[in-house]
C-alpha cells in the first residue's frame, strides 16, 4: 500500500520536475539528476513491493533411500523429532537455519504448517526428556547445503532456484548441480 502511494507521489514529482526542466534550460542538469533519483526511488519501491518470499527446497543427502510414500506428514515427523532414523537404519541428522532467517520462517509455514517458536518448543521438549536430539543450526544456506552434502542421513532446506518445481533435491559429496536428482512429493 505504502509502495503504491510512494510510486504515485514519485510519478507526479517526476512530471513536475520534467516541466520545470523544459521551462528553465539552465536548471536542466539539476532536473536530470532529480529525474534519475525519482527513477531510482521508483525502481527501489517496485523492487520492495515485488520481492517474493524466499521459496525453500528440501535437500536430502544422496545416501538416503527415501521411503515410498514420503510426504509432508513424514517431513513433519522428522522436523518435530518423532521420526529419528531412515527406514534403512541411518540416523536422521536435521540441519536448520536460525529462527530469525526468512527462509526458516517460510519453510516452517509452507511445509511444516507451523512457526519457529512452536518448533523450538518441541525441540526443547525432546532434548530435556531425552527422547531425541534437536537439529543442528547453521548460519547460512550455503553452509547448510555443504553440511547436508557431507553428512549421510542429513536433511535440510535451501533457496529454491527459479523454475525448479520439485520438492526434494538429493545432494551428495560427489554431486554437482547438473547431476543432482530432484523429485516431487
Partner 1 sequence: MNKSRYRLALLLAGCLSGSGFAEQQPLTLHGFVSQGYLYSKNNDIFGESTEGSWEYHEAGAGGHYRLSSRLSFSGQWFARDAGRGDNGSVRTDYLYADLLLSQGTSSGTGLRFGRVRNHFGFFNSTRDVFFTRPSILLPQFYLESFGVRELFFSSDGAQLHSYWDEKDYHLNFTGTFGKNKEISSDTVANILGSSATLAGDAELQSPISVQLSAGLPGDRWKTALSYYNATLTFNSASVLANLDVTLTALSLQYNGRKTSVTAEYALSSISSTFVAPAFNLVASGNTKSESAYIQLDYHVDDQFTVYGRFDHRLGDREQPNRTDSSVATLGSRWQPHPQWLFAAELHGIRGTAPIPRIDNRDREIAERSEHFIFMAGYRF
Give contact residues for partner 1 (rule: CB under 8 A).
67-74, 76-77, 80, 82-83, 85, 87, 89-91, 93, 98-100, 108, 112-118, 120-122, 124-125, 127-134, 136-137, 147, 151
C-alpha cell recorded at residue 87: 527406514
CB of 151 to partner 1, least distance (A): 7
Question: Of the two residues 5 and 185, which places its CB atom closer to partner 1 in the complex?
Answer: 185
> Which lies closer to partner 1 via its Cβ, residue 42 or residue 148?
148
Contact 180, 171 (CB under 8 A): yes
**Could you count the other beta carbons within 10 Å of the beta carbon of residue 130?**
7
Provide, rounded to whole angstroms, the least separation between the CB of residue 110 and partner 1.
10
Least distance (Å) between residue 115 CB and partner 1: 6
Phi-psi map region of 138: left, alpha, beta (phi>0 left; psi -120 to 50 alpha): beta
> Across the strands, what pairs with 136?
95
- Collect all residues with Cβ–Cβ distance below 8 Å to 44 and sequence separation of at least 6: none
Instruction: CB nearer to partner 1: give 19 or 113.
Output: 113
Nearer to partner 1, 20 or 147 (CB): 147
Query: Least distance (Å) from partner 1 to the CB of residue 172?
Result: 17
Q: Judging by beta carbons within 10 Å of its beta carbon (0-12, 13-18, 19+), is residue 109 exposed, middle or buried?
A: middle
159 has which bridge partners?
56
Q: Which is nearer to partner 1, 131 or 164 (CB)?
A: 131
To partner 1, the closest distance from the beta carbon of 112 in angstroms equals 5
Residue written as grid cell 513491493: 49
Amino acid at each position: 500500500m505504502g509502495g503504491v502511494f510512494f510510486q504515485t507521489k514519485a510519478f507526479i514529482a517526476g512530471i513536475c520536475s520534467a516541466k520545470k526542466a523544459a521551462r528553465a534550460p539552465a536548471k536542466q542538469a539539476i532536473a536530470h539528476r532529480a529525474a534519475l533519483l525519482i527513477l531510482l526511488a521508483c525502481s527501489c519501491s517496485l523492487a520492495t513491493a515485488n520481492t517474493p518470499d524466499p521459496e525453500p527446497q528440501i535437500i536430502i543427502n544422496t545416501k538416503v533411500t527415501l521411503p515410498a510414500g514420503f510426504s509432508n506428514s513424514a517431513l513433519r515427523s522428522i522436523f518435530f523429532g518423532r521420526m529419528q532414523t531412515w527406514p534403512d537404519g541411518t540416523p536422521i541428522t536435521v540441519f536448520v537455519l536460525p529462527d530469525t532467517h526468512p527462509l526458516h520462517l517460510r519453510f516452517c509455514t509452507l511445509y511444516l504448517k507451523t512457526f519457529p517458536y512452536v518448533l523450538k518448543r518441541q525441540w526443547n521438549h525432546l532434548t530435556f526428556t531425552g527422547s531425541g536430539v534437536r537439529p543442528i543450526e547453521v548460519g547460512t544456506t550455503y553452509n547448510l547445503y555443504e553440511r547436508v552434502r557431507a553428512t549421510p542421513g542429513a536433511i535440510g532446506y535451501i533457496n529454491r532456484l527459479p523454475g525448479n518445481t520439485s520438492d526434494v533435491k538429493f545432494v551428495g559429496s560427489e554431486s554437482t548441480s547438473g547431476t543432482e536428482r530432484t523429485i516431487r512429493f
